[in-house]
Amino acid sequence: MKQLFILLFAGFSACTGSGSQKLVRESENPIPQVAINQLIDTLKLNKEPNAIARIKKGVNHTASLWRKEDGTADDFRAFCKMNFISSEAERELFFEKVSKNLESIYGHFNKISLDLKQNVDLNNGPMLEIDKDFSSYSVSSHLLNDLYANKIAFKIALNFPYYSLEEKEKFDSSISRKEWAMARLGDIFVSRVPAELEQAGTKAEADADLYISEYNIEMGKLLNESGKPLFPDKMVLLSHWNLRDEIKANYSNKESGIEKQEMIYKVMERIIDQDIPEMVINNPNLQWAPFSNKVFENNLEKPCTAEPNRRYQQIINNFKAQRAIDSFSPDMNTFILRKFSGEMEIPQQEVELLFDSYLRSPQLAKIGAIIEKRLGRSLRPYDIWYDGFKSRSAIPQEELNAKTTKRYPNPSAFEADMPRMLTKLGWSKERAEFYANRIAVDAARGSGHAWGASMKGEKAHLRTRIPENGMDYKGYNIAVHEFGHNVEQTNSLYNIDYYLLNGVPNTAFTEALAFIFQSRDLLLLDMNSTQQNQQQLNTLDTGWSLMEIMGVGMVDMKIWKWLYAHPEATASELKSAVQAITRDIWNTYFAPVFGIKDQPILGIYSHMISNPLYLAAYSYGQIIEFQLEEHLNGKNFANEIDRIYQQGKIIPQRWMEGAVGSKISVKPILNKLDKALNSIVRSKLSYLSDLQ
């Protein structure tokens, strides 16, 4: 699951108080470049070399943020002369005071956001429209507007200007931790976006998230072509996460597993194509035959209409909200740039090239051939989620569910068990309690997520779905993933040396630790693998799942490129485009592996709807996970995790070099895949069934 970040101070989308785009454009920078250059020359007089180096960048950057409503050119000149800090000692004191105040602001706004979203995020009773209204309200929308109005923003920008990703990459190895933190302070004020546009963007994402959180399929009401149900009567699965996990769970079901998987795949196709009957979504009172697409009530067929492209309208809404912001972010004037070069700090072109190179790797077809032999059948599209390499695949789902439902009947039981789980992973009792005491476990209305604290003294929150009969294995597996997020969130907040370095370079790095925790879920249940050559199988599992998540990441990126090329597209037109994009990505990369063409499965991911351009972080998370696992082998797990994640929010490649001594790369996993494939072929393990 994703980690939720409240970007109260997203440097690439800061706020101003103007009432509309037109008003802001009419009040653009009133400072002529000639006046800026003269001011720079004046400020340089009698200054020390360190101060002189900062003057040009600081003045130019501050001028780019100044608007007519902020004052005249003379006002700007006077402001810079009065507020430029030439003394390094005074500048450091300024930095410390700002850091302390920002922690208070970040932390309290984060807590308010948690409180306002509680009735939507948590399974705590009926949800009213007013709950949805508060959930989509961004309490921090006008904060940066106020900081510009009272000139705090300009004082910070003048003395701590923004450094682009290219400039940060050129920082030499001698730059100190404090200097990195000061550079992060410069990331806060990069551009000025009207508060109402920020609010509109927040609302679009909140509405899309709510749409997804209520997209439940009543599995017990699904009928096969003989009119019989295949799933338990009370089973309710959220799209897409729970549907995917049910496909995974049925690989060990030799009696009806394939039939169940085929039915789930048909449900997914109906969702992607939007010909799913609208009335069956989140409705326990109707029966639905997905293959014939007929709906029944009390055994009588009922007329129905398809969902009216609401899925694709959510994407359109997100796009329009972000496109409205573009012109106010001249350095990163598309959401694609803001998401990758800004937030992720890895250029989108670099991401796409990396994905393309991996998805064309010949090792993937070899893994596919092994999966076919293990399954005893040709690959089907849903086998992108093949789960048979994992150690848990040899254990019946019923046994796993019995274990987890007994151990975790409610959220408090999982919360009480966290210290034991952490000591099992290698943390001392004292250290385990330090983490566990700073994490709260809540029953989620949706699939679950992790939400970190933003100031010391507050707790991170682990949200997971727990049915009335206790946490099933799928829910437990997700909860362990979220637990990994929470450990990272707590470590990189409480154990960081400078507040402005709290967190990780981007979401891929917290996903990496979540994956590392998730891969140890059986260990935490005190269960062991019964499969031979488990290390090699784990490598194949990593290679296969990386193919799957890179494929959907490519779809996500291409959807947004298409939207920018067709900005006036309707939901219907976008649906057709997504269908074409998913089939094109499938045919390019997956058809050579699966032997079948024109499959839409890559379009099912809910992240594309509610968390646009997030999926690429999962792929990088898996690459980083693999490199970290290689590094952790033979070392003290807990000590290394603490050390690595205390690096905080420096740029991605510098973080990775500090963690494992090399940059982010798929070469290590491809090399290990070759070794694993050779070993498995030699041992003929590929001919064994999943249960052997």
Question: For 164-222, what is each residue's pLDDT tens digit?
Answer: 888 998 887 778 999 999 999 999 998 888 878 988 998 999 999 999 999 999 999 99
Number of H helices, E strands in the chain: 31, 11
pLDDT value of residue 12 = 35
pLDDT value of residue 123 = 85
Place of tokens 């009735």: 119
In terms of average pLDDT, the best of 42-51, 136-145, 560-569, 681-690 is 560-569
Taking only the tens place, the pLDDT of each residue in 596-610 is: 999 999 999 999 999
pLDDT value of residue 22 = 36
- Residue 570 parent element (H or E): none
What is d(CA 374, CA 43) in angstroms, rounded to the nearest whole number? Answer: 72
* Better-scored residue on pLDDT, 530 or 587: 587
Q: Alpha helices, DSSP H only, in 428-533?
A: 429-436, 473-494, 507-518, 521-524
Taking only the tens place, the pLDDT of each residue in 69-81 is: 999 999 999 999 9
Q: Which residues pair with 229 in a beta bridge?
A: 223
Residue type for 181, please?
A
Report the SS3 class of residue 157: helix
Report the SS3 class of residue 497: coil
pLDDT value of residue 8 = 33
- Poorest-pLDDT segment among 110-119, 189-198, 336-345, 391-400: 391-400
Q: For residue 384, name the pLDDT band (cuts at 50, 70, 90).
A: very high
Q: Which residue, among 525, 390, 514, 517, has the nearest Cα to 449 in the 3D structure?
A: 514
Q: How far is CA 155 from CA 87, 164, 304, 618, in A?
A: 15, 19, 61, 37
pLDDT value of residue 18 = 34
Q: For residue 533, name the pLDDT band (cuts at 50, 70, 90).
A: confident
Q: For residue 142, name the pLDDT band (cuts at 50, 70, 90).
A: confident
Write the DSSP assignment of 251-309 as a string of letters.
Answer: GG-TTTHHHHHHHHHHHHHHHHHT-SBGGGBT-TT-EEETTTTEEEETTEEE---B--S
Taking only the tens place, the pLDDT of each residue in 435-475 is: 999 999 998 887 678 999 999 999 999 998 888 899 999 88
Taking only the tens place, the pLDDT of each residue in 396-441 is: 888 999 999 999 999 999 999 999 999 999 999 999 999 999 999 9
Q: Which residues pair with 443 in a beta bridge?
A: 464
Across 184-224, where does the E strand assignment appear?
192-194, 216-218
Q: Which residues pair with 442 in a beta bridge?
A: 463
pLDDT value of residue 93 = 98
Taking only the tens place, the pLDDT of each residue in 38-70 is: 999 999 998 888 889 899 999 999 998 999 999
Q: Which residues pair with 15 in a beta bridge?
A: 193
* 495 pLDDT more than 70: yes
Task: Report domain extents, the chain.
Answer: 3-194, 212-311, 348-389+529-687, 397-497
pLDDT value of residue 348 = 96
Taking only the tens place, the pLDDT of each residue in 249-263 is: 999 898 999 999 999
The CA radius of gyration of the chain, in Å to the nearest whole number, is 26
Task: Name the phi and psi angles at 460, rounded to 5.
Answer: -75, 155
What pTM was estimated for this model as a whole?
0.80
